[in-house]
């Protein structure tokens, strides 16, 4: 395997990852660690040059650190996660929900485990290239550390949907709140709900409330409230979220610890300026969103 196509995963969680809004809105039904490992792989390709997705390797020790997996069962966990990723299909519908058109393909081309080197290798599917590389418009761009501590898939997916929609509408995160209106059908698809939680009350309790708790506890974005939006007849069609800069998180124990770890990483990695290509500091009070490059 050539050196060009065999690259070590950079586990620095303060890098940005990017994906098209079509991919963000696509149907995704995976475990929490599968979501995190995939986004770690996506983050590696954020700065890929030459228009090709690479095969990346990550040591088992690094996987334990990043995913907070029990070391005693990491081998079994690695098999379960990679098998799940190999079996998962991404379904991308019309991002504007105006037609029934869709595209389906697998997330990855191949996963490997090298027992001698204690490494996992993963290569994203080539069909993902237009959704991950050379993105210039209608895309989501965020820091991996914003979701790495979340304990719910719904937290990750609702966070991505809200950030993606905010960027699309050119709404900047600040101490002044703004509103994001989202179709319930889009929430259900992105969260991979299928036939689960058909009643609105169930959706709010099991999905939205759980997601908001995780977002508010682990990210620089805070959802202060949500309410029913548009109706079609007697059926609620949309949910409206109120969003604001999460100043409480920045002063919380986790927020301060995350910034401390970021500064330690910066020094140990030899970076002297936050303008380095792969580096993106945590959003701090008074800063706007790091949505655009």
Please write the tens of the pLDDT for every residue from 201-238.
999 999 999 999 999 999 999 999 999 999 999 999 99
108 or 280, which is more confident? 108
- Asked if 25 contacts 93 with a C-beta cutoff of 8 angstroms, the reply is yes
Please tell me the distance from the alpha carbon of residue 269 to that of residue 10, in angstroms, as a whole number: 11
Task: State the pLDDT confidence band at 252, using cuts at 50, 70 and 90.
Answer: confident
66 or 168, which is more confident? 168
Please tell me the distance from the alpha carbon of residue 242 to that of residue 223, in angstroms, as a whole number: 6
Residues 170, 160, 222, 165: what is their CA dihedral angle, to the nearest 10 degrees?
A: 30
The mean per-residue pLDDT over the stretch 4-30 comes to 79
Is the pLDDT score of 10 beyond 90?
A: no
Query: Positive or negative CA dihedral for 265, 266, 268, 269?
Result: positive
Output the pLDDT for position 285: 37
pTM: 0.83
Contacts 24+ apart (CB under 8 A), 272-276: none
State the chain's mean pLDDT as an integer. 82
Output the pLDDT for position 266: 58
Please write the tens of the pLDDT for every residue from 135-176.
878 889 898 889 988 999 999 999 999 999 999 999 999 999
Task: State the pLDDT confidence band at 118, using cuts at 50, 70 and 90.
Answer: confident
The mean per-residue pLDDT over the stretch 62-80 comes to 83
Domains of the chain (ranges plus CATH)?
6-250 (1.10.10.10)
């Amino acid at each position: 395997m050539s050196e060009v196509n065999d690259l070590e995963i950079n586990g620095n969680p303060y890098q940005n990852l990017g994906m098209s809004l079509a991919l963000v809105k696509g149907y995704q039904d995976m475990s929490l660690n599968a979501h995190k490992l995939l986004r770690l792989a996506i983050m590696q390709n954020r700065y890929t040059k030459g228009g090709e997705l690479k095969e990346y390797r990550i040591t088992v020790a690094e996987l334990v650190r990043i995913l907070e997996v029990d070391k005693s069962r990491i081998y079994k966990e690695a098999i379960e996660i990679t098998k799940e990723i190999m079996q998962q299909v991404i379904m991308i519908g019309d991002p504007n929900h105006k037609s029934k058109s869709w595209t389906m393909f697998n997330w990855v081309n191949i996963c490997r485990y090298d027992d001698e080197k204690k490494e996992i290798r993963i290569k994203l599917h080539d069909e993902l290239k237009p959704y991950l590389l050379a993105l210039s418009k209608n895309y989501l761009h965020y820091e991996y550390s914003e979701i790495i501590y979340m304990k719910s898939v719904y937290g990750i997916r609702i966070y991505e949907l809200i950030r993606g929609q905010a960027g699309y509408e050119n709404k900047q995160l600040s101490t002044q709140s703004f509103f994001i209106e989202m179709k319930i059908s889009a929430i259900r698809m992105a969260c991979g709900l299928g036939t689960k939680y058909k009643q609105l009350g169930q959706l709010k309790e099991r999905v939205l409330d759980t997601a908001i708790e995780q977002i508010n506890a682990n990210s620089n974005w805070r959802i202060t409230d949500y309410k029913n939006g548009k109706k079609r007849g007697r059926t609620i069609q949309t949910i409206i979220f109120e969003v604001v800069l999460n100043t409480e998180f920045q002063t919380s124990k986790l927020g301060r610890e995350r910034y401390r770890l970021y500064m330690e990483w910066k020094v140990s990695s030899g970076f002297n300026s936050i303008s380095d290509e792969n580096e993106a500091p945590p959003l701090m009070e008074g800063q706007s969103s790091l949505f655009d490059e």
